[in-house]
Amino acid sequence: MDFISEDLSLYCENHSTQEDALLRKIDRETQLKVLKPRMLSGALQGKMLELFTKMINPKIALEIGTYTGYSAICIARGLGKSGKLITMDINDELETMVREFFEESGLAEKIDYRLGNALDILPDLEGPFDMVFIDADKINNEKYFDLIIDKTSQGGIIMADNVLWSGKVLVKKGQKIDKDTKAILDFNAKINEDPRVENVLLPIRDGIMMARKL
């Protein structure tokens, strides 16, 4: 995910609203206790999600992939008074940690945290969703999109994380492509060709695909 130099990345962080104590705590605890801590959204992406949420002002936001709750708290902080976030994750081993973070944030009442396979949970959700953030297993990105696009409100925003996949999307001739990279390439092409949305791929952190439903 290192697309810009460490110095430039630090400059960006130093010229953005800083993490508060809770977000720093979530970052620290994730780094110390959880596998694959690089999956954490982090300061720049977290603040971006918060600001986008404030601009979109969703009545219902949806997050596929809670992990340790960093991004969910950022989204919840951007919600209006009556806004609600539904977030889901398949890893029940993180439940206690995540629920404690949600309680500490003071936003637990705004966050509907569900455990289980998103492919099983999504068909039973009614929506409409005004904002969706997809940040789970990349193999199923297309399936997640197909399950939520008709439940997304007109003008609603769908975002998917890690769509640059540490630069692996730049495939050289004759290069062997692993299944996760292929899934991301197929997903990016699918969104770019879908007439139901207009989209932009943002080179933020590991890449965010943003699509607006027409």
Give me the domain span that covers residue 10. Answer: 6-213
Cα distance between residue 203 and residue 207, in whole Å? 5
The CA-based angle 142-150-154, given to 5 degrees, is 115
By three-state DSSP, how is residue 114 classified? strand
pLDDT in tens, the chain (214 residues): 566 778 888 898 899 999 999 999 999 999 999 888 777 888 899 999 999 999 999 999 999 999 999 999 999 999 999 999 999 999 999 999 999 999 999 999 999 999 999 999 999 999 899 999 999 999 999 999 999 999 999 999 999 999 999 888 998 888 888 999 999 999 999 999 999 999 999 988 889 999 999 9
Question: Which string of DSSP letters, residue by residue, matches 6-65?
Answer: HHHHHHHHHTSPPP-HHHHHHHHHHHHHSS-GGGS-HHHHHHHHHHHHHHH--SEEEEE-
Residues with Cβ < 8 Å from 136, sequence gap 6 or more?
64, 65, 89, 90, 118, 144
| Residue 148 counted as domain residue | yes
Q: What pLDDT does residue 1 have?
A: 58
Residues with Cβ < 8 Å from 48, sequence gap 6 or more?
204
| Residue 1 counted as domain residue | no
Q: How many domains does the chain have?
A: 1
**What beta strand segments (E) does the chain contain?**
60-64, 84-89, 111-115, 129-134, 152-161, 197-202, 208-213
**CATH number assigned to the domain comprising residue 144:** 3.40.50.150
Q: What pLDDT does residue 17 have?
A: 94
| Residue 110 counted as domain residue | yes
| Residue 145 counted as domain residue | yes
| Residue 39 counted as domain residue | yes
